Structure 1
Amino acid sequence: MARSALLIGNITHARKEWEELSSLVELKEYKTGSRDDFLSKLKSGDFDDTFVVYRSNESTGVTGPFDKELVDSLPSSVKYVTHNGAGYDNIDVKACTARGIQISSTPIAVNDATADIAIFLMLGALRRITIPFNAVRKGEWRGKAFGLGHDPKNKVLGILGMGGIGRAVAERATAFGMKIQYHNRNPLPADKAGNAKYVSFDDLMKTSDVLSLNLALNPSTTHIISTAQFDMMKDGVVIVNTARGPIIDEAALVKAIQSQKVFSAGLDVFEEEPKIHPELISDDRVVLLPHIGTATWETQKDMELLVLENLRSAVEKGELVTLIPEQSK
């Protein structure tokens, strides 16, 4: 039986490169549909020769999450899932691993665009930019709630999760004269840490003026920032999250902002997105973006190309270029 690659969703920027892979593997596509329809097609054998699955950006909207039910329904021929996204919390890694299915994601490709948005949110939060931004469009000039903000220079930026995105944030923040510290499960080699100082998790909470969250979502990081952590922080801390919403306990964040423990927050991701906590929406001290960290032409194409690089490598070499960390141990 010939092997095939199955695209779920669509390819927007690298369609030509996808079609060029037809010389290596039969290409199949499931662009639109529903979870029930997809599961039905799996059951009827429509995709029985699938060797590698390409999960596009919008694939969760097409089939729902790649949870255990879906993974267990995949044909035994599936050996690889090449996922378009740095985060892969909507894939059941344990279920895939149990089936012998390896997963790739798109680190590196997302680093610069996501770091840019983190800095944008940080500067906006330091200046509480939403207040004058909204006021001027209403003809209120700076607005009644306008007040002085803060400079980034000489502030201590704490980075929780010093992977590729975290390091890109550190590089950019250094240009603003910030002092960088970070916490990972393990310290980085000196050549990767740059001028950033490694500190314990508790010290990061206690001594950072700005806290940037740049870590993956998993059971151990869900609500890693909650009431106990806010209580540890400096009064007037600024919170920036471009990682995943559930990393922060949003209800606890709202209380910390209302008590003025948190000066402001810059958020690109939310706990139940696209739903946003109503008290975050109504609070002008919060800078909000609708999960657009990687939303540039260049980054979207780079992500698609990296997925295709993984797919090609899976077909030609039987290995993935950017295998997820949980499976590379």
Structure 2
Amino acid sequence: MTTSPTPTSARTVTGMIYVSRLLTDRAMDHLHSLGVPLRIGVEAPPSRAELEAGIAGASAAVITLTERVDAQLLAAAGPQLKVIANVAVGFDNIDLAATDAAGVIVTNTPGVLDRASADHAFALILDSTRRISEGDRLIRSKQPWVWGPRMLVGLDISAGATLGILGYGRIGQAVARRAQAFDMRVIASGRSRTPGSVENGVTFVDNATLLADSDIVTVHTPLTPETRHLIDAAALAAMKPTAYLINTARGGVVDEAALIEALHTGQIRGAALDVFEGEPQVNPALLDAPGLVLTPHTASAGEATRDTMGILAVDNAAAVLAGDPPLTPVR
């Protein structure tokens, strides 16, 4: 961890900002332009001891989803802490009851990563259904091969396939638009949508209908006590045996043990995961599951998107330290 010198500035932002991990270069330049004392971590996630030492005495903390915020960390920070700016749209790494009790504002980065996340989800849809990674592994294995009519045949999504979107927030809506460009039938479920209603060509259904009717189920719900293991053994059994599951939301929404079993038994045809229950540890059994594509939580990893996420988090912290309302408060 390095501590920057305090530059002189006429800005009204006051207080020391702790940044738990290095942001992108553009976001770091924006941070330094504030002209306030900074305590900056390294690129790797901090240990718990490093996190507690880093946040001690800070007026604002810019953190990532790898840092757990609880009452113990808030006590280590001290009473001067005003705001925690999470560089993510999700905030399941933060105990909101503890931050409320401490009077600490929590912000996130909604909206700015919708397109990149939707792009990645759709990339996983194409990868899994057209067996792209499987073909790549075949070539790299140096095994002899020859083209044939039955070779690596997958689902032709533009031939009337149905996409089911679990969670119809901003990212789910962006995925729907991409699916419609591929001539897919799109159904969705969401807390604020009535089954049977239609919006922008998307038909809303209940979860049971969505699981039963979809050729591809893509998950875009936050991780809450209600959504933990939303996709469990029963949900997987309700899906078509030819169906695919895509998860770019949070790992805990899918019961990985049930998914592994479903893939080995052919209960569903394939799946793709960008997030994991024990992240950053990955269940070794996932690596041997057939028909499974894996990426390391990179759905928002577009250059412009990651720049904007970091800059928004910094601006949230700066706004609070300047005595202004946060730009994107969690609540």
SS in 2 for 1:322: coil
Matches within 5 A, 1:257-272: 257-272=263-278
Q: Identity, % of aligned pairs?
A: 30
Confirm or deny that 1:11 pairs with 2:11.
Answer: no
Counterpart CA distance in 1 for 2:54 and 2:308 is 31
CA drift at 1:235: 2.2
Over 6 Å off, 4+ runs:
142-145
1:216 corresponds to which residue? 222
CA drift at 1:129: 2.7
Matches within 5 A, 1:84-95: 84-95=87-98
The answer as to whether partners of 1:52 and 1:81 remain within 8 angstroms in 2 is: yes
TM-score using structure 2 length:
0.85
SS in 2 for 1:124: helix
Counterpart CA distance in 2 for 1:264 and 1:232 is 15
The answer as to whether partners of 1:268 and 1:293 remain within 8 angstroms in 2 is: yes
Contiguous gaps of at least 5 residues in structure 2: 1-13
Confirm or deny that 1:28 pairs with 2:34.
Answer: no
Q: State the superposition RMSD in angstroms.
A: 2.4
Matches within 5 A, 1:1-329: 3-13=15-25, 14-22=27-35, 26-32=36-42, 34-40=47-53, 47=57, 50-56=58-64, 60=66, 64-140=67-143, 141=145, 146-153=151-158, 154-187=160-193, 193-324=199-330, 327=331
The answer as to whether partners of 1:136 and 1:143 remain within 8 angstroms in 2 is: no
Aligned residues: 308
The answer as to whether partners of 2:125 and 2:272 remain within 8 angstroms in 1 is: yes
Counterpart CA distance in 1 for 2:251 and 2:204 is 25
- 1:242/1:143 CA distance change after superposition, 3 Å: farther
Contiguous gaps of at least 5 residues in structure 1: none
Counterpart CA distance in 2 for 1:96 and 1:205 is 37
SS in 2 for 1:265: strand
Counterpart CA distance in 2 for 1:40 and 1:4 is 14
- 1:207/1:7 CA distance change after superposition, 3 Å: same
Deviations 1:271-321 (A, max 9, x none): 112332333212341111121112222111011111122123223353221
SS in 2 for 1:81: strand
Deviations 1:126-184 (A, max 9, x none): 12333322111112236999542111121111111111111111111111111111111
SS in 2 for 1:71: helix
Structure 2 residue identity aligned to 1:17: H
Deviations 1:19-40 (A, max 9, x none): 2212xxx332141564224435
